[in-house]
Structures are given as C-alpha cells and as structure tokens.
Chain A
Amino acid sequence: MAIESKTERRRPQLIPWGQLAEVPWWAVIILLVGVLIVYFIFTAPAYTDAFLFLTAGLRLTVTVTVISFGLALILGLIAGLGRVSKNTVIYTLASLYVEVIRGIPMLILIIYFAYVVTPLAVDLLNGLGSAMLGRVSADYLVAWGNSLAELNIQDVDLRVRAIAGLAFGYGAYEAEVFRAGIESITRGQMEAARSLGMSYFQAMRYIILPQAIRRVLPPFGNDFISMLKDSSLISVLAVRDLTHLGKLNRARTFRTFETWNTVAFLYLSMTLLLSLLVRALERRMAVEE
C-alpha cells in the first residue's frame, strides 16, 4: 500500500524510464536484425540465392539433430541407470563411457566415430558374416551371412556415421542428466515402492523415472538446443548440412558476407525459438511444483 501511494504522488514522466528498463532490449535488437535479414532475403538477389541454396541443408541439420537426440536419450537412459546401479560392473561400464566421452571434444568424437569406430564395426560384421557362412544352411541365414561378409565401409552412409557420433557423444551428457534427476527423488519414494513388493525396475519405471524425467525436461531442452548447434560439426564429414552448404555456397558465389549472415541467421532463429519453448516449459513446471 505504502509503495503504491508513493508512486501515485509522483509527477507523471514524459518518458517512463522505469518501464523502458524492463523491456528485453536484446530481444528487440535480435528481432530487428532478423527482420532486416528477412527483408534482404526477399529483396537482395545474393541473399535470396543463398537462402534457397541453404534450405536443403536446413532439412538435414534438423533431421540429424532430432534422430541423434532421440538416440542420445536412449543411450543416456541406459548409461544413467548404470550410473545409479549398485552393481559394480554395470556402474564401472557406465562411468567409463560417461567419463571417456565427456573428456573428448565433440568434433573429435564425430571424426572418430566416422573413421575409426565405423570401419572397426564393419570389420567385425564382415568377420561375423564369414563365420556364419560356414555354419548355417538355412537360405535366409546364408543371405544374411553373405550381405554381412560383403559389407563395405563405403556402404555406411556418412550421415549415419554423423548420427552415431552425435548420439554417442551426447548420450554421455544425457546420462548425467538422467542420473541427477533420479538422485533428486527422495529415498522414501524407492522405499515405499519396494515395500509394496515392486521390483527395482518396476519402482524405477513407475515411480522414480516419471518424476525424475519431469524434473529434467528443461535440461533436456537446453541440450537439444546445444545439439542443434553442435550438429554443425558434422560438416567435417562433408555431409550436406546447413554449415556444409554454407561452405559450398561461399565457394560457388564468393558471397562470403551474405552466405554466413544467412547461415548464422538460420541457426539463431531455430535456437531462439527453441529456447522460448524451453522457458515456457520451465515456467509451467515452476507453477506446478
């Protein structure tokens, strides 16, 4: 009450500085720059050309990110459960995965999965195929063995290798998010579930994970945004994502400014849109808590 009457008595200002300070100016500036670039895309031929050329890469960037993140969540769930396991072997394997992966730069992981892990996996499958051929007689198994034995490294699409690198790389981070979420649920929840006769996995599935995942949705959202950005690294594999098409467009047109302005603008509009969604999610959860 006291504060209200004080503001009422104050003389009305010509420019309400107090209110102006509360406007998120950074968003306004980004919006203006965005509008400007959209305007260029519609009017300046170099921008229009770059935009049309780049949109093909936009699709790959989004697809790779969505698939990789889905796989990373699955890997993260498995490794995260391993990280809270009391079984020493499982815990050690999960920790090894998390610690090794998190200590290697994402760019190196992508290269490593594409040019080291994939050839190794192909060799392994070749060996498996040859071994099968000598031992099986059923037609479909022979066919399988043949295709495995004749599998060539070139047959493994670089897009698939890119997805593997991103998925295994991010899986380690998601594992820690899962672990944090699981550990944030009080011990009493597990005890109550177990005392009702539920097994450890039933308790995890019906009691712990539903609560834990709700809590870690915002971090998942932020990691998804990070992955969208990190997916630009797969351009080293000459996969035609947004970044790689940027390089190609520059080489094709020599329009360096227009090309990279458009590339940056496209990434920024996707990430900003997504972070708005994450923020809305956080607000909704804060209300519910």
Chain B
Amino acid sequence: MKNSDVIIEIEHVYKSFGHVQAVVDVSLNVHIGEVVFIFGPSGGGKSTLLRCINRLETVDRGRIVVDGICITEHPKRVDIDKVREEIGMVFQLFNLFPHLTALQNVTLAQEKVRKRSKEEAEEIAHNLLKRVGLPEKAYVYPDQLSGGQKQRVAMARALAMNPKIMLFDEPTSALDPEMIREVLDVMLDLAREGMTMVVVSHEMGFARAAADRMVFLEAGSIIEEASTEELFANPKEERTKRFLSHIL
C-alpha cells in the first residue's frame, strides 16, 4: 500500500508504568479503511498501546502520528481535543454517562464538540440508535440496559462524531456470551463499510471475518504481524502457534 494511505503511524513507542514495561519498541502502521486486530495474552500491553493512539496514555519514547498530526510532541503544542474528535473509542466497560439517557449520551458531544444543533444531533442519534438495533431505547437510562445494549449505545455515541478511526478496547470482554454476537454484528457492519478500525480483542471469529491484518502482542512487544489469512494458516512464530492453539 502507498505510504500516503497511512492514517496511524506508530514508531518505536515505549511506555512503562513504574517498573512494568507495558509497551516496548512497538512500530505499527494502520492504513485508511484497514481493520487491524491486536491480540495476545492479558497484560501484554494491547490496551496500553491502543490508549496511546488517542493519548489516554502518554508515551515515554517514540512517535505517534494520527491523521497527519504528531500527538507525541510537547502536549502544549498539540490540540489533542481536535485529534480525539476524529478518533472514536469503545471501552471494555462501556463508560456510558449514567446521568444521561441513551439519546443524550449520543447527542452531548455532537452539540458541545461538533457544535451541531440539538435537532440535527438528535436526528443523527436516532438514526445511529436504529442502526445499532436500539431505536426504542432512546429515552432509557444506561442502568436499564443490558451489557450488550450499553456497548451498542457506546458505539453509537462514538460514531456520532463521524470519526475517521475507531478504536475498540476489548469491547466484548465484559459481556455475557449471548450478548457478544449483537456487538460483533455492529462491528462487522462497520468493517464492511470501510471504517478504519483498531481492535483489541480475543474474538478470533471476528478477526477471521473482518480483520485485514493481525498483530500478536506479548510482554509489550509485537511478536508477529501478518495478514489475517496468513496468520491463521501458518503462523511463523512458535509463541503465536502456541497461543492460537490454546484459544482456538
């Protein structure tokens, strides 16, 4: 692929928490429209790496360029809020705003950040709630929703900002098995529509169906990176083989 298609550029990134090295010398490019699937054992630095992309974590060393803006420069010189507008994020624990209805969860940032009118924001929100299969839950508060429904509202909330990139931080890990399907279906739709996605997850079924490229991360380092077909068919690294045999 051409280099101009690159929308996320991660170069030699390091991040540690105290003595724990969470991310060690990771370099990774994500192209427009690509679905990159990051997997690996718990505590391997997957979430930390993902959170560095919208600077929920600041890197210790290295460079990250998102949509042409280097976000690892001195904090005062980067308008991180502007970058974050273009990056939607879906969290493991949903992080819906409990004091707002599902609809308000989806409209708030549209009005306050994108400066859309209330009417416009609500129309967009209703459409998105319909798209994630929850048109009837618009006026319901999060505590009356199931886990899967919460996660779908959270996706609608992120999509309402018309992001160029969507980050998924273990979106199904906190869900009961029967609810995982409904969340993955929405994600599959998104992938088919050409959304650029970086997904940290253990859902190998989703990876097989939607991911272009897979990255195996362990102890903060990329052990193996390959196209989805290749990684499933013949993983090169012994460690990857062992991990796949355990979870498949």
* Chain A 193-212 interface 0/1 with B at a Cβ cutoff of 8 Å (1 = within): 11111110010001100110
Contact A192/B113 with A197-B84, A197-B161, A214-B99 known, Cβ cut-off 8 Å: no
Rounded to whole angstroms, the CA-CA distance of A214 and B100 in the bound complex is: 13
Q: For residue A194, which residues in chain B have a CB less than 8 angstroms away from its CB?
A: 56, 81, 84
Task: Pick out which of these stretches binds chain A: B32-40, B86-94, B193-201, B228-236.
Answer: B86-94
Interface size on B, residues (CB 8 A): 25
Contact status B95-A206, CB under 8 Å: no
Contact status B93-A188, CB under 8 Å: yes
B112 on interface, CB distance cutoff 8 Å: yes
B48 on interface, CB distance cutoff 8 Å: no
Contact status B95-A196, CB under 8 Å: no
Contact A211/B84 with A196-B157, A206-B108 known, Cβ cut-off 8 Å: no
Q: For residue A188, which residues in chain B have a CB less than 8 angstroms away from its CB?
A: 91, 93, 95
Rounded to whole angstroms, the CA-CA distance of A194 and B54 in the bound complex is: 9
B158 on interface, CB distance cutoff 8 Å: yes
Rounded to whole angstroms, the CA-CA distance of A211 and B82 in the bound complex is: 26
Contact status A195-B87, CB under 8 Å: yes
Which residues 142-175 of B sit at the A interface, judged by CB distance below 8 A? 154, 157-158, 161
Rounded to whole angstroms, the CA-CA distance of A188 and B95 in the bound complex is: 6
B134 on interface, CB distance cutoff 8 Å: no
Contact A192/B95 with A197-B109, A206-B108, A206-B112 known, Cβ cut-off 8 Å: yes
Q: For residue B97, which residues in chain A have a CB less than 8 angstroms away from its CB?
A: 189, 192-193, 207, 211
Rounded to whole angstroms, the CA-CA distance of A204 and B158 in the bound complex is: 19
B11 on interface, CB distance cutoff 8 Å: no
Rounded to whole angstroms, the CA-CA distance of A202 and B54 in the bound complex is: 18
Which residues 195-244 of A sit at the B interface, judged by CB distance below 8 A? 195-199, 202, 206-207, 210-211, 214
Distance of A212 from chain B, by nearest CB (Å)? 10
- Name the interface size band of chain A: 10 to 19
B85 on interface, CB distance cutoff 8 Å: yes
Q: Which residue of B lies closest to A289 (CB)?
A: B143
Which residue in B91, B96, B158 is a CB contact (below 8 Å) of A191?
Answer: B91
Contact status A191-B95, CB under 8 Å: yes
Rounded to whole angstroms, the CA-CA distance of A214 and B141 in the bound complex is: 16
| Chain A interface residues toward B at CB < 8 A | 186, 188-189, 191-199, 202, 206-207, 210-211, 214
Rank and list the top 10 A-B pairs by shortest CB-CB distance, nearest first. Answer: A197-B85, A192-B95, A196-B109, A188-B95, A195-B89, A197-B113, A197-B84, A197-B81, A210-B99, A211-B99
Q: List 26 A-B contacts (CB under 8 A).
A: A188-B91, A188-B93, A189-B95, A189-B97, A191-B91, A192-B89, A192-B95, A192-B96, A192-B97, A193-B97, A193-B109, A194-B84, A195-B87, A195-B158, A196-B84, A196-B85, A196-B108, A196-B109, A197-B81, A197-B114, A199-B81, A202-B112, A202-B113, A206-B112, A210-B99, A211-B97
